[in-house]
Amino acid sequence: MPAIVIVGAQWGDEGKGKATDLMGDSVDFVVRYQGGNNAGHTVVIGEESYALHLLPSGVLSPHSVPVIGNGVVIDPGVLIKEIGDIQARGVSCERLLISANAHLIMPHHVSLDKVTERYLGQARIGTTGRGIGPAYSDKVARTGIRVQDLFDPAILRQKLELVLREKNQVLTKVYNRRGIDAGRVADEYLEYGKRLASYVADTSLILNQALEEDKVVLLEGAQATLLDVDHGTYPFVTSSSPTAGGACVGSGLGPTRITKVLGIVKAYTTRVGAGPFPTELTDEVGEWLRKTGGEYGVTTGRERRTGWFDAVIARYATRVNGVTDYFITKLDVLSGLEKVPVCTGYEIDGVVRADVPMTQTEFHHAKPVYEYFDGWWEDISNAKSLSELPANARAYVLALADMIGAPVAAIGVGPRRDQTIQLRPLI
Ligand code: GDP
Ligand code: IMO
Ligand code: MG
């Protein structure tokens, strides 16, 4: 009964889509367990590149069943468009399953996400503006609307009227925006319900049955450890639990089912949006990393902030996720550097520490302490084994493995599936 969690170990965009796709042919179910269309997962197959937002990356593997779990927040208009777009490229979505318990992103969530960010000014989080935070807030406040509500028009209208009574006051009186018409939204969403109905299922039941039958279930995280609402750099985080524990809550599988936690980590670091980032490079080297690594957001097109590998946060990710194996991606991007710095600790108020500090204030004051590794110049994008890597690239990866506290199962040397050096079985 293998149930494997894929989790981002930094601030997102580590290459989770590629890792999921790589395992796709040996996996029966690929489950998204949190987040929404704030995610952007790129999968490159041959000459084709796919950018997935709500659909699990498993949709690209003909043998696996893609599942949108209860922990995801779904913007149904966006999902229907994503299904249509990918089907137009010849990818079938017929096997897709959507949890009846997943919450919906409603028009007022998107409006509130945008106006609250504007209201925060300099203190803004830099959200993707997709309504993620407000949708999760309503879920926890018990005023959310779920997929199953789309099949009970009376309940949908009643819930919408109730919630909009309050939200419209906020939108019009606090933020000076137009109110939202409950009847119009209900009609629009009931139409979405008709189009999504055939996919809706009791996904927790199906996944547990699959594990009983020894099927392989892959739980594909979105966002990442340092964006986790509990374990990330709060308040500069997303509003869900991307860490491995969230995979159970967001899919309806018990913790004893999880057999492996695969951490995905870039050979350097990036971040989109605001918040602390100790190893950030704001100079031309940072710009070089951005250009060489193609570090522009898949969802918003924003420039990603770039910096050196931070072993402090990677070790932290190992700890809070119980990572059993790592996939180090984008090693190829680092070719051509004289020296490759790695942050091994933080200096905070004159004291060097090896762990993520307890408070956010200390994190904001953290200055990276670097160890410098010799660089390599060769193009490594065709390397198929560790021995085909230049000695310095090999030494760099082995040093990272040592620092982060879990073995390296695979190394990415390019965006394509076959540009992967596999050291240990991924399943
Ligand atoms: P995700 O959100 O974690 O799925 O990652 P993104 O898709 O947002 O960003 C990762 C980017 O790096 C994508 O453009 C991938 O195609 C690309 N990528 C993944 N692994 C590698 C790798 O090993 N080398 C290179 N050069 N690119 C990679
Ligand atoms: P994937 O799955 C990188 C960031 C946003 C912002 C913060 C909160 O592709 O790794 P939100 O819209 O979620 O309320 O924004 O989280 N963020 C991501 N950064 N990759 C992502 O997803 C992200 N999803 C959200 O930039 O700082
Ligand atoms: Mg991404």
CA distance 375 to 186: 58
List, for residues 401-426, the tens digit of each pLDDT value: 999 999 999 999 999 999 999 999 99
Copy the structure tokens of residue 410: 């695979």
Domain assignment of residue 310, yes or no: yes
Rg (CA), the chain: 22
Q: How far is 180 from 145, CA to CA, in rounded Å? A: 16
Residue 286 identity (one-letter amino acid): G
Q: What CATH number does residue 243 fall under? A: 3.90.170.10
Q: Would 97 be classed as within a structural domain?
A: no
Distance (angstroms) between ligand 1 centre and the Cα of 16 equals 7
Same domain, 224 and 336: yes
Q: Which atom of ligand 2 is nearest to the CA of 274?
A: 27
Question: Token match 């059993």: residue?
Answer: 324
Residue 73: predicted pLDDT? 98
Q: How many whole angstroms separate alpha carbon 81 and alpha carbon 28? A: 25
Active-site hit among 21, 28, 41, 231:
41
Least Cα distance to 5 among 221, 310, 293 occurs for 221
Find out whether 88 and 50 touch, Cβ atoms under 8 Å: no
346-366 tens-digit pLDDT: 999 999 999 999 999 999 999
301 SS3 class: coil
Query: Residue 13 in 3-state DSSP?
Result: coil
Give the integer Cα–Cα distance in Å for 82 and 88: 10
In this structure, what token pair is assigned to residue 340?
Answer: 């490759």
Which of 59, 290, 329 to mutate to test ligand 1, by most ligand atoms within 8 A of the CB atom?
A: 329
83 lies in some domain: yes
216 plus 312 within the same structural domain? yes
Answer whether residue 246 is part of any domain. yes
Tokens of 257: 């089912």
Give the Cα separation of 248 and 229 in Å (integer): 16
Domain count across the chain: 2
Nearest-angstrom CA–CA distance, 52 and 283: 31
Strands 73-74 and 339-348 come out as: unpaired
Q: Is 13 a catalytic residue?
A: yes
- Same domain membership, residue 303 and residue 194: no
From 173, 198, 223, give the residue that closes a domain: 198
Examine the fold and report which residue of 157, 182, 198 is the final residue of a domain before the chain moves on.
198
39 Cα to the center of ligand 3, angstroms: 5
What domain range is 305 assigned to? 3-91+202-422
**Does a structural domain hold residue 231?**
yes
User: pLDDT value at position 52?
Assistant: 97
> Is residue 96 included in any domain, yes or no?
no
β-sheet bridge partners, residue 339: 374
169 and 41 both lie in a single domain: no
Q: Are residues 57 and 70 in the same domain?
A: yes
Is residue 75 domain-shared with residue 129, that is, in the same domain?
A: no
Residues with CB under 6 A from ligand 1: 8, 12-18, 40-42, 44, 294, 298, 329-330, 332-333, 412-415
- Amino acid at residue number 218: L
Do residue 355 and residue 401 come from a single domain? yes
Q: Which of 13, 21, 138, 228 is catalytic?
A: 13
Do 153 and 263 sit in the same domain of this protein? no
User: Does 427 reside within a domain?
Assistant: no
Based on the domain organization, do 208 and 86 belong to the same domain? Answer: yes
Distance CA 109, CA 78 (A): 14
Query: Which residues in the chain land under pLDDT 70?
Result: none
Tell me, yes or no, whether 98 lies in a domain. Answer: no
* pLDDT value for 299: 82
Do 216 and 170 fall within a single domain? Answer: no
Could you say which of 146, 165, 198 is where a domain stops? Answer: 198
The answer to whether residues 299 and 166 belong to one domain is no
Query: Is omega for the bond preceding 235 within 30 degrees of 0, making it cis?
Result: yes
Same domain, 42 and 114: no
Distance CA 277, CA 61 (A): 35
d(CA 416, CA 18): 8
CATH number assigned to the domain comprising residue 182: 1.10.300.10
